[in-house]
Chains A and B, each alone.
Chain A
Amino acid sequence: MSARNRELFGLVVAGLIASVALASVTIARNAEVAASAAVWGALFLGLYVVAHVVVRRTVPYADAALLPLTAVLTAFGLASIYRLDPDDGGRQAVWVAVGVAVLAATLVWLRHDYRLLEGYRYLFGVAAVALLLLPSVPGLGERVNGVRLWVDVGPLQFQPGELAKIFLIVFLAGYLREKREVLAQGRLKDFGPLFVIWGAAMIVIVQTSDLGSALLNFGIFLAMLYVATGRALYVAAGIALFVGGAAVLYNALHHVQDRVTIWLHPWTDERVYCALNGELEFRQDCASYQLVKSLYSIANGGFGGTGLGQGTFASTDGTQLIPYLRTDFIFSAIAQELGLVGAAALLLVFMLFVVRGMRVALQAQDGFSKLAAAGLTFGFALQTFIIVGGVLRVVPLTGITLPFVSYGGTSIVANFLLLAGLLLISNRANALRT
């Protein structure tokens, strides 16, 4: 079977998963199988068949697993979001369609040689920093939950950080390919840009209070630096710098302090001062409310889960128990309804995506492609780790999205761009090999 036919087969399987998931949600909601579930399932499959046809025409040698894995991830996301709120499910479906369109457009645009982007690397670098700082521009940015992540553009909101990540990877791939020999020699003067990036990460934290985004972008940078130079020492030095900087900022920024306190001590036995209402409350009823409720949601799933549509997310009077369920905490919704079995399956899909992405990096022939593929894939893995790890209390919780699963347009579109990049790189690598 050719790569493209395997891809099509994978997509049919993903379409079946999506149909079954949507059907069980409708059963749980209305106690009967609604015909709409089949229609939605067919639309979902149709959308990805369109993507498949575009891939077949533009990047025929591309990796066969990436697109089906993406389809499975979006199916998880769509079913969970639809279950939480059918209207949001519809909107998310539109965003997935937009994402597929962006994927198609990117593939058509760059099908001959994506490496032309390398020539614009500094433009991408500047754009990435600009995008990261955009939410802190007065009048543009919106502070949600103490973090500046959003930008209002007319009626639309978008999270520039998601796009900045992609731009940064393109910049770093170009820059590091050019300078890797020099950097590997370890002369101090060559490290100017390194400090510039470190400084930028710190400024982003100060300006936006967004620890998660800073951690993600700095992590991508260190990973790509390591791939380029092979010097683990640089990674160690980078981590030391970041931790040092963060420690200094820790004392200066209340928001960061709060996040760490919540992470270390989500439950208190005695009432402590609660900044939300100015009274003495148990921390689990106040600052760590979100994290604790999300852990309860995950624990309630147990091994087998409650079943799709059977989970408990609202009180008996309809008030929501867990905030930001569709975005930051989508994993705790999935973990409750699908249990350890479903949550582990979801994480396994992420792992498979990572393996395929890294395989693309290994197969790529030139430095720019290798660096870009490795950066995109590691960014994907690290973002998953930061948000799910935050929900699971492995690391302090920061509000970033779960790739392809969380509700949100910018995130979906940015991750389809990431997919487009990996498909383009793998197409070129495989085309050269054959």
Chain B
Amino acid sequence: MNRQIVRLTYVALTLVGVLVVMTTYWQTWAAASLADRQDNAVKRVAEFSIDRGLIFSFEPRKRLARNVEREVDSKTLFFRRYPFGPLAAHVVGYSTVGRSRTGLERSLNDYLTASNANLSTLVDKALDELRGKPIRGNNVVTNLDLDAQAVALEELGTDCGAVVALDPRTGEVVVMASTPGFDPNLVERRYGEISSITADCTPAAPLLNRGSAGLYVPGSTFKVITASAALESGKYGPEAPFVDPGYCTVYGKRVNNFDTTRPYGAIDLTNALANSVNSVFCKIGLKLGAKRILDTAKRFGFYERPPLETPLDERLASGLYRNGQLYYPKLDSDVDAGRMAFGQERMLVTPLQMAMVAGTIGLGGKLMEPHVVDRIVAPGGKVIEQQRPRLIRRAVTKKTADAVADMMRLAVAQGTGTAAQIYGYSVGGKTGTGETGVPGANTTWFIAFAGKDDESPPELAIAVVLQNQSGTGGTTAAPIARAVMQAILQPTENP
């Protein structure tokens, strides 16, 4: 029987050996992917014993997220406090025991808990552990301008909407405001107060970052894309002549201008954009076809989630949506190109995307990668990560961009966007009014860029969206854009 017993010994040892191998697998190979899972309560609670990194605004430098220590069961735990409450809640997010994390608290969790793989962090962490001290996380400095952020929230007021402002030259996102907002300090214990928030829109969705994850009908702001596509095609120039009858015929049906009582008659492309004449863009759309316009939109970043430091699922791609799914038409005939050309037809966009469009036009066609985080700093002060301006791609030629920029400047100078004029600055903008067919339920837009003069690159690009409005983009969104731009460009005049 001894031969069998020896073999059985091998079997028994193999069984236990498999356990050693699998323990190794879970504790080394798979540990990182398990740690990243949202439902990993063990890791999440364990990380509360880490002196979590702070999150700062850029200007003025304030702590947007800090820690309070509490002794629980003879352990020192660090709980989050957000001194400014709702002010930057959507970007910063929250870190809680019961409701996990959102925003930068989630996407930068590795840095904030010092579990990123940078060598200096590993050394610091090991030293903290050896000393028996709590591990200290790395601090995050955002690009947010807290004063402008406050102005944006104040201007949005009780409306549902969002403001995104960025420096088109560097991609630095300085304002990302969304209403209705929430106080992240309430998430852990008084979540009921957040879920019971109501607003002028349903669902109120106070946790939703409308700036990057809110999808809206772009309305006439999309004409910026259509105009770019028209110029890029070579079929049209800025002075291309059109005749506006007040409507456009698509599939034998009339599609009216916003105001049908006053057809413009003879008009060129530049003035058509400045005055937002639907019929002209409808004709361009029919001529170019949907796919050529969509390809231009793609060059501006449509059909991909804009790169930003916030979590991936808190950013959505802009484009055509069908049944809640992003889709790209196989054939030109799958889409009503005429209506799409002036921003209807199931086209949905995010404010972040439209701010990128405005900035790219102002910057001569260069699409820069947006960043809401400026740098990540070790507890000792050493900079671990520093964001630098990065070109995503050239979206359109400089010639095209400059021509469209002139059209947008004309819109602010004497067209639909006059409410956004700022003394001493050259502002180019485009209004948008997405009609839903229900009175008082329009989605209104204003996108703009602003620079010292027509020649120098713009310092700022902005997108403002408002839900459920009875006015137009020019009367509702443009004044908000102006106020926020002023707060950023001329902070002293806006105490």
> Which of A267, A315, A358, A384 contacts B97 (CB under 8 A)?
A315
Judge whether A340 and B39 touch: CB under 8 Å. no
Closest CB in chain A relative to B187 CB, distance in Å: 14
> Which of A28, A347, A354 contacts B20 (CB under 8 A)?
A347
Judge whether B16 and A300 touch: CB under 8 Å. no
Contact A318/B73 with A292-B39, A362-B6 known, Cβ cut-off 8 Å:
yes
* Number of A-B contacts defined by CB within 8 Å: 159
Stretch of B23-31, B170-178, B263-271, B460-468 lying at the A interface: B23-31
Judge whether B41 and A293 touch: CB under 8 Å. yes
Contact A355/B9 with A299-B26, A312-B42, A316-B77 known, Cβ cut-off 8 Å:
yes
Contact A296/B23 with A227-B1, A358-B9, A362-B5 known, Cβ cut-off 8 Å:
no
Stretch of B43-51, B231-239, B244-252, B290-298 lying at the A interface: B43-51
Contact A344/B20 with A370-B5, A374-B8 known, Cβ cut-off 8 Å:
yes
Judge whether A358 and B34 touch: CB under 8 Å. no
Judge whether A358 and B8 touch: CB under 8 Å. yes
Contact A298/B46 with A354-B13, A354-B16 known, Cβ cut-off 8 Å:
no
Contacts of B98 in A (CB 8 A): 315
Judge whether A230 and B20 touch: CB under 8 Å. no
A344 to B39 Cα, complex, angstroms: 27
A227 to B9 Cα, complex, angstroms: 11
> Which of A227, A285, A293 contacts B8 (CB under 8 A)?
A227
Contact A392/B26 with A227-B4, A355-B9, A384-B16 known, Cβ cut-off 8 Å:
yes
> Which of A31, A302, A388 contacts B31 (CB under 8 A)?
A302
Chain B interface: which size bin? 35 or more
Count residues on chain A whose CB falls below 8 Å from chain B CBs. Answer: 64
Q: From A370, which residue of chain B is reached at the shortest CB distance? A: B1
> Which of B6, B18, B77 contacts A394 (CB under 8 A)?
B18
Judge whether B16 and A303 touch: CB under 8 Å. no
Q: Is A389 an interface residue (CB 8 A)?
A: yes
Contact A301/B27 with A382-B15, A384-B16, A392-B19 known, Cβ cut-off 8 Å:
yes
A48 to B31 Cα, complex, angstroms: 38
| Residues 293 to 322 of chain B near chain A (Cβ within 8 Å) | none
Judge whether B4 and A344 touch: CB under 8 Å. no
Contact A322/B42 with A31-B74, A227-B5, A298-B26 known, Cβ cut-off 8 Å:
yes
Q: Is A122 an interface residue (CB 8 A)?
A: no
Judge whether B45 and A316 touch: CB under 8 Å. yes
Q: Is B117 an interface residue (CB 8 A)?
A: no
| Residues 373 to 414 of chain A near chain B (Cβ within 8 Å) | 374, 377-378, 381-382, 384-385, 388-389, 392-394
Contacts of B386 in A (CB 8 A): none
Contacts of B37 in A (CB 8 A): 267, 284, 296
Judge whether A340 and B28 touch: CB under 8 Å. yes
| Residues 325 to 368 of chain A near chain B (Cβ within 8 Å) | 335-336, 339-340, 343-344, 347-348, 350-351, 354-355, 358, 361-362, 367
Contacts of B3 in A (CB 8 A): 230
Q: From B24, which residue of chain A is reached at the shortest CB distance? A: A340
A59 to B182 Cα, complex, angstroms: 74
Main secondary structure of the interface of B (DSSP, over half): helix
| Residues 282 to 323 of chain A near chain B (Cβ within 8 Å) | 282, 284-285, 292-293, 295-303, 306, 312-318, 321-322
Q: Is A179 an interface residue (CB 8 A)?
A: no
Contacts of A336 in B (CB 8 A): 42
Closest CB in chain A relative to B77 CB, distance in Å: 6
For B98-138 the 0/1 string (1 means CB < 8 A from A) is 10000000000000000000000000000000000000000
Judge whether A296 and B74 touch: CB under 8 Å. no
Q: Is B438 an interface residue (CB 8 A)?
A: no
Q: From B26, which residue of chain A is reached at the shortest CB distance? A: A298
Contacts of B27 in A (CB 8 A): 298-299, 301-303, 335, 339-340, 343
25 A-B contact pairs sorted by A residue (CB < 8 Å): A227-B5, A298-B26, A299-B30, A299-B42, A299-B43, A300-B43, A302-B31, A303-B27, A313-B42, A314-B73, A315-B45, A316-B79, A316-B97, A347-B23, A348-B20, A354-B12, A354-B13, A355-B9, A361-B5, A374-B4, A374-B8, A377-B12, A381-B12, A392-B19, A392-B23
Instruction: Show the binding face of A for B, using Cβ within 8 Å.
Output: 28-31, 223, 226-228, 230, 267, 282, 284-285, 292-293, 295-303, 306, 312-318, 321-322, 335-336, 339-340, 343-344, 347-348, 350-351, 354-355, 358, 361-362, 367, 370-371, 374, 377-378, 381-382, 384-385, 388-389, 392-394
Q: A381-B16, A384-B16 are in contact. List 18 more A-B contacts (CB 8 A).
A: A29-B74, A230-B4, A284-B37, A299-B27, A300-B31, A300-B42, A312-B45, A314-B73, A316-B79, A321-B45, A347-B19, A370-B1, A370-B2, A371-B1, A381-B15, A382-B15, A388-B19, A389-B19
Instruction: Show the binding face of B for A, using Cβ within 8 Å.
Output: 1-9, 11-13, 15-20, 22-24, 26-28, 30-31, 34-35, 37, 39-43, 45-46, 48-49, 72-74, 77, 79, 97-98
